[in-house]
Structures are given as structure tokens and as C-alpha cells.
Amino acid sequence: MSSLRDPAILFFIFGIFAGLIKSNLSIPTHISRFLSLYLLMALGLKGGFALNHSGLNLQIISSLGCAVFLALLTPALGYFFLKRLVPSLDATAIAATYGSVSAVTFITAVQYLESRHIEYGGHMAAAMALMESPAIIFAVILSNTIRRKATSTQTGTLSSVKGVLHESLTDGAQLLLLGAMVVGIISGDAGKAAMQPFSGDLFKGMLAFFLLDMGLMTAKSLGNIKGNSPFIISYAVLAPICHAAIALMLAVLLKIPYGDAGLLMVLAASASYIAVPAVLRYAIPEASPSLYLGMSLGITFPLNILLGIPVYMNAAKFVLG
């Protein structure tokens, strides 16, 4: 439980506490946005510097392929299970939310590895980017299929899918992550030395500040899950564990190093609370945001931050280390 003594994690817990006691502590939206962009830029640079050393090899290709497969599998499994518990469009929204990824959970996991001097591949930042969009496309296509739109409007459906795909691939935050990675690859060791005060020395403090904000948001989301079925609540707890187990099995089959395997488990176990919910509000307005957002941000996110990351990493080390 040493991770619970990490300053960043303690600030997250403090944020939850401040929110629960109805404190007026808040982080301005533009500051929160800046912190998010900073963390993605720093993560991209770290990944690029690492890739400058390792280059592209079969192991990296296997890890990226595994990430894409997980991004396709987890929303499909989620929908197959959830459609028995909630209306189809709600099932689609929840499955898409849990089929995508949380950048902050991944960044926290990277910090966990670095604080313990555990090696991981810089390409895992690219894996995170690849795992975000499939769930969004899944949600748009499936929701339109469920509505059984007339043939005359199917062209519009295809156009909307194309638009959502373009928006997902050109999203500013995701594009910044990939762009920073390219900068890191090109600049190499010289760039790493030049950017160390920015992407290295400041990283831990910025992460702590951002997790404080996430703690405040989590406390606000807890009220949204009241009154929901115990089976739905249990999904928010058990689905991440199942997804992480699938990722571990794939990592064993592909002989992925345990640092990368642990990050794959974290990505598979995480759920989106920004990108996917933002799309779902327009793509599936019939679905309840309080349900899928309350589950991901109110239950799954804090469980992964406080308990999941060390559990997944230790499981990967036990099996693959």
C-alpha cells in the first residue's frame, strides 16, 4: 500500500475529502485544461525520447496490436453483458465508456513505474492514443443500428461516423500527445536534456495538482450513482478487473515485458470520463450521462488510482517478471 503514501495520490484523496465536505475549493476550468495538456505533452515527450533509443521492433508492434485488439474487444464484451441489465442505448454508452481509456489513470501508472525504476516502453503512450477511438466508433455505429434508421438516412449515419472518426483522430489533446512524441523521437538525447526541467522536474507536482482537481470531480460524481442497480455498480468494479485479466493473458501469449504488460492492464481496466462521454451526449442523447459518467468517474477511476494500479503492476510482475 506504499502507493497510498505517494504525494500525488494523497492529493487525490484530499480532493475527494474536500468535495465530500462541500468545501468551496475548486480549480478553475482553464487551469485544469492547461494541466491536462501539460501532462499529455510531457508524456508524449517521455515516450518519444524512449523510442529514440529503442526504435521500432517486433515487440513494440506486438504491444500496439494488442492494444488495438483490446480496444475492439472490451466494448463488445461490455455490450453483450450489459444489454441484459439496462436498455440497449444505455448499454451501448456504458460499454463504450469502459471500452475507451483514461489518460490520467495511464499517466499515474507511468509515474508509479518511474518512481520504482521499472522499465517500460515509450511506445505505450501511442498504445493509449490508439485505444481511445475504437469505442467511440463502436458507440456511434451500434446506436444507429439499434435505432433502425430508415435506408434513406443511412447515408447520414455513415457521414456521422466519418465525422466522429475525423474528430477523434484530430482531437487536440490526442494530437498534442502524438506530436510531442514525434518531437521526442526527432530531438533524442539533446531534446531530453533541454526539456528535462519541463517534462521531468515539474511532472510530479503538476500531476499532484491535477489529481487534486480529479478528486474534487470524483466527489461530485458520487451522487450520480445513488439508486442504481447493484449489478450495475458491480460492473463498475468487476469489469475493469476482467479487462485487465484479458490484457494480462494476451501479454503472456505475446511475451510482452511486465512493465508494458502492467500498462496494458491499466489501459484495459480504465474507463473514459472525458472524450467518450463528450461524444455520447450528442451521439446517444437517449442514454443517461449520470449513469455512464457516474460509474466511470465516481467508482472506476478512484478504484484504479487508489488500488488498481499497484494490483495490476504486481500481477504483471508475478506472472511475467
Residue ranges per domain, the chain? 2-320
Predicted confidence band of residue 159 (pLDDT cuts 50, 70, 90): very low
Give the Cα separation of 81 and 78 in Å (integer).
Answer: 5
CATH of domain 2-320: 1.20.1530.20
Give the Cα separation of 288 and 227 in Å (integer).
Answer: 13
The reported pLDDT for the residue numbered 249 is: 97
Question: Is the pLDDT confidence value at 156 over 60?
Answer: no
Give the Cα separation of 120 and 111 in Å (integer).
Answer: 11
Question: Is the pLDDT confidence value at 29 over 60?
Answer: yes
Could you tell me where the DSSP H helices lie in the chain? 7-20, 29-54, 58-82, 88-99, 103-115, 124-130, 133-147, 154-169, 172-195, 203-221, 230-254, 258-269, 275-283, 289-295, 301-303, 309-320
Give the Cα separation of 80 and 280 in Å (integer).
Answer: 19
The answer to whether residues 121 and 259 touch, using CB atoms and an 8 Å cutoff, is yes
The answer to whether residues 131 and 101 touch, using CB atoms and an 8 Å cutoff, is yes
* Positive/negative CA dihedral, 41, 39, 68, 76: negative
pLDDT by residue (tens digit) across 222-267? 777 777 778 888 999 999 999 999 999 999 999 999 999 999 999 9
Q: What percent of the chain has pLDDT over 70?
A: 91
The reported pLDDT for the residue numbered 232 is: 86
Q: Which residue has the cell 440497449?
A: 88
The C-alpha cell that represents 111 in the structure block: 509515474
